[in-house]
């Protein structure tokens, strides 16, 4: 979790990974080392959902970066759909905490 939390590059796949890990961090916080702090973990799932449209291509597929159309991928689109369902659930759970 530390590695993902601190990873500096944020293409779309990495944003999804970071948001999902943040959601897991919130769920698992009681089982994790006391020195593992991630203050923004609670807000990351919703933040990344809010920013998602900037990574969507005009044809509704998902792309890795903001400026490239060459990275549009059906696999990334499928992974995004799966992650969205998990992130929505996590964002709802975080708001209730």
- Could you read off the pLDDT of 8-67 as tens digits, one per residue? 988 888 889 999 999 999 989 999 999 999 999 988 888 888 888 888 887 777 777 666
What sections of the chain are H helices per DSSP? 2-6, 12-28, 44-51, 74-96
Q: Token pair 């708001």 is at which residue? A: 95
How many domains is the chain partitioned into structurally? 1
Q: Look at the pTM and tell me if it is higher than 0.75.
A: yes
φ, ψ for residue 11, nearest 5 deg: -75, 180
The residue segments making up the domain with residue 24 are 2-96
| Whole-number CA gyration radius for the chain | 14
CA distances from 83 to 23, 30, 76, 90 (A): 11, 23, 10, 10
């Amino acid at each position: 979790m530390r590695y993902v939390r601190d990873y500096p590059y944020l293409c779309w796949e990495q944003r999804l990974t970071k948001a999902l890990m943040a959601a897991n961090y919130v769920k698992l916080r009681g089982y994790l080392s006391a020195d593992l702090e991630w203050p923004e973990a609670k807000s990351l799932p919703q933040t990344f959902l809010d920013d998602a449209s900037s990574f969507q291509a005009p044809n509704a597929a998902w792309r890795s970066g903001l400026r490239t159309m060459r990275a549009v991928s059906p696999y990334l689109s499928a992974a995004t759909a799966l992650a969205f369902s998990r992130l929505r659930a996590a964002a709802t759970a975080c708001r209730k905490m």
